[in-house]
Structure 1
Amino acid sequence: MRVLVVHNRYRSEQPSGENHVVDQEIDLLRSAGHDVRLFERRSDDIASMSLPAKGAVPLRVPWNPASRRDLAAELRRERPDVVHIHNTFPLLSPSVVAACQDARVPAVATLHNYGMVCPPGTLFRDGEICGECVGRQPLPALAHGCYRSSRLATAPMALSVAMNRRRWWTGISRFFCISDAQRRLLVRAGMPESRMTVKHNFIPDPGLRRSLPGEHFLFLGRMSEEKGVRVLMRAWERASTGVPLVLAGAGPLQDEVAQWAQARPDVHYLGLRGKQECQRLMANAVAVVAPSAWLEAFGLVVVEAMAADVPAVAPAHGAFVELIEHKVSGLLYHPGDAHALAEALRRAAEPARNREMGEAARVRYEKDFTPSVGLDRLLAGYDEAIRGA
């Protein structure tokens, strides 16, 4: 199969799970013998643009005719069987969908967030889950300045959602949702249910699995409000698990987290760490804590923990409800409730319960999240798109 992958890479200064997923899918397809080409733009390139070019970037977020023209030329040259679209913000724009329609090449799209119904793609505002724009025009996002707390920065994204919604919904043959929770929400918002399918992200086997009871609880991710760091800090002060907490990652709350950790002998803040060290920290964890305040569309860190025989503790909302079987492969608690999280941490530290949950987590990983499962679902979606075309 000839596949053309379309992706706008996020800035390298912000480690992106989405970039990682795209790269893994390309490698997986190529290893299975498929011919995969990449049509991409890089947000890193904005820094080297001239001042007028930088100023034009927001104007082209809703529609970039150059991207449509360039992709059309690529489609004529490569003649792929299917186009797989990932991120189009900010340098590609939804004009790439029109290029596929013009060339009559079937296109699929992976929805990595909630960008189809929420301009910043997060469903999160002022520290709370927000659904004001779901199922309607994105005027509330513009009024609140939901992207970077700026109405001016939000305007191009809100305009893109408003003017391109129908183009996405009619021009894409198959949408890949990364969880059923995400799919259900988008269907309620009016997206075409018959073309929405769940294709979870897959995780290559890390080769490191927990063999001992574990040395610490682990938070691995962005130090930000939406990731629930403050809820975790409040819960930890009540938990008394007898096991230390390790936090790894960077973000806007990193100074606050570092100061909090410095005052507590049972907390260690490591900052940003490389892939191999993160895998080692995972394999030595009692449990991974993913206290996200927003509705995670997937929850990559939870599945990474499963692959390492490590259970997870997470709030009972978003994708976590389908990733974690409560009291079997991990523990769920009432979202935003520090007391409930503290109790879940105490339960997760119980040795017998913890060992059983870790074993069940690995079984779930092998059933649903391995590369072979991911490849089957990916190719099935391509086949459906091609047959439909």
Structure 2
Amino acid sequence: MKILIAHSRYRAGAPSGENRVVDSEAAALAAAGQDVTLFQRHSDEIAGWPLTRKAALPALSVYNPAVRRELTDLLGRERPDVVHVHNTFPMLSASVLEACRDAAVPVVATMHNYRLACASGDFFRDGQPCHACADGSVGAALRHGCYRGSRAATVPVATALLASRRSWRELVSAYVFISVSQRDLLAGVGLPSERVFVKDNFVASPPVTAAGTTEGRGHLVSSLGRLDAAKGVPLLMAAWDHFRRANPRSPLRLAIAGDGPLMGRVRDWATGHGSVDVLGHLSRPEATALIARSLAVVVPSAWEETFGLVAVEAMAGGVAPIVPDRGSFPDLVTDGVDGALFRPGEARDLAGLLADVDRAPERFVALGTRGRRTHAARFGQHTNIERLLGIYRYAIEHPAVGTPAPALASGARP
């Protein structure tokens, strides 16, 4: 099958699970013998733009005619069987859907966040999950300035949501949600249900996985991700405070990897804890090595994650994830089988699990071993890619109502 992948990438070096998923999936498709072409734009490009072009970015995020022309030319040369669209904000816009329509190429779109309904993309405001715009309205987003905390910055994002909604409803042949909870939370957007699929993200196994014993591991828990409120950094710090007060002599250590707006706060807090290491941004090999030497990986997210990528990466490495009982996590992790769940927002409940790791590390090693089995059965390459190819075949056989029957496509090859 000839596949073109369209993706607007976040800046290099930023903690972007979405970029990792797209790269892993493209590589797995190629390894499975599929013909893969990438059409990507990088947010890094914006820094080099002249001021006049930067000023036009909000309008380009609504509709980008240059991207439409470039993709139209590429579709004419490559003649793919299907286009797989990932993130379109801010570099591509819904103009990619129109280019595919004009070329009569069916579109499969993976929804990595909540941006079809939510200006900030995460259904999270003022430290709590927020569903004010889940019905498709944008009034609350405009009132609260949900995009980057700015009403002015939110206006073009909200405009893009409204302007492109018909294209998203009519020009996509198959929608891929990455969890059941995400699909249900976005039901108010009104996508045609017969074209909606749920498929886990593909998460590759690391080259070196943790052993099924405590040997080679530190008496350590780790947390990896962006240091902001939505990722639950304040909750993690509060839970560690509770744990240390109750267990002042514990040798358990916490390693925090990542960067973000709360880095200064985290560093200041950590200076009062000799048991905490703040590592900053890590490369993927460094992050994999940190996971491998941990007894558990804590994912303290405060928002309703569409797919708990770090949790599944921990499972792939044979390490138990500790996650909140909200969003996608209850579907990914079975409490007491391949990981542990805590009550969302409850620092004391999370602290109790940290105490369990401290007192019974062998139990968490066993959870990690079973987590690796879960990963192999559910998130491994063969299962995931076969599922994706089946969705591609559906899209080719059932083009969206706004897409003409293929005239130039090369014809799907199994």
- Shared fold, TM over 0.5: yes
In structure 1, the partner of 2:331 is 322
Q: What is the distance in 2 between the residues matched to 1:104 and 1:280?
A: 45
SS in 2 for 1:225: coil
1: CA distance between counterparts of 2:95 and 2:207?
41
Q: What does 1:183-262 correspond to in 2, within 5 Å?
A: 183-211=183-211, 212-213=213-214, 214-215=217-218, 216-239=220-243, 240=247, 242-262=251-271
Deviation (angstroms), 1:189: 4.1
Q: Give CA deviations for 1:80-129 in whole Å, capped at 9, x if unaligned.
A: 10001111111211011111111211100111100111112110111111
Greater length-normalized contact order (CA 8 Å, ≥ 6 residues apart):
2
Residue 348 of structure 2 is aligned to residue 339 of structure 1? yes
Cα–Cα, structure 1 residues 14 and 207, in superposed 2: closer, same or farther, change >3 Å?
closer
What SS does the corresponding residue of 1:226 show, helix, strand or coil? coil
Secondary structure (helix, strand or coil) at the match of 2:230 reads helix
Question: What is the CA-CA distance between 1:188 and the residue it aligns to?
Answer: 4.4
- State how far apart, in whole Å, the 1-side matches of 2:193 and 2:338 are: 30
Deviations 1:311-336 (A, max 9, x none): 11111000101011011111111111
Moved more, 335-344 or 37-46: 37-46
SS for the counterpart of 2:41 is strand
CA RMSD of aligned residues (A): 1.4
The separation in 2 between residues aligned to 1:358 and 1:48, in whole angstroms, is 44
Q: Distance in 2 between matches of 1:59 and 1:274?
A: 34
Q: Secondary structure at the match of 1:341?
A: helix
How many Å separate the matches in 2 of 1:96 and 1:279? 35
Question: 254-263 vs 64-73, which deviates more?
Answer: 64-73
Which residue of 319, 325, 349 corresponds with 1:310?
Answer: 319
Q: TM-score, normalised by structure 2?
A: 0.91
Which residue of the partner structure matches residue 368 of structure 1?
Answer: 378
Q: Is the 8 A contact 1:313 1:332 kept in 2?
A: yes
The amino acid that maps onto 1:114 is: Y
Structure 2 unaligned spans of 5+ = 400-414
Query: What residue ranges of structure 1 are gaps of 5+ in the alignment?
Result: none
Q: Does 1:385 align with 2:389?
A: no
Contact 1:8 1:42 in 2 (8 A): yes
Residue aligned with 1:61, SS: helix
Query: 2:26 corresponds to which letter in structure 1?
Result: I
CA contact (8 A) 1:177 1:197 kept: yes
Q: Aligned partners of 1:356, 1:47: CA distance in 2, in Å?
A: 47
> What TM-score, normalized to structure 1?
0.97
- Counterparts of 2:46 and 2:253 in 1: how far apart (Å)? 42
Identity of aligned residues (%): 44
Q: Is the 8 A contact 2:254 2:276 kept in 1?
A: yes
1:197 deviates by 0.9
CA shift at 1:159, angstroms? 0.6
* Aligned partner of residue 274 in structure 2, secondary structure: coil
Q: Give me the whole-angstrom Cα distance separating, in 2, the residues matched to 1:24 and 1:88.
A: 18
Aligned positions, number: 389
Task: Give yes or no for contact 1:232–1:291 (8 Å, CA) kept in 2.
Answer: yes
Q: Who is 1:357 aligned against?
A: 367
Name the residue aligned to 2:122: 122
Q: Which amino acid aligns with 1:165?
A: R
Look up the match of 1:83: 83
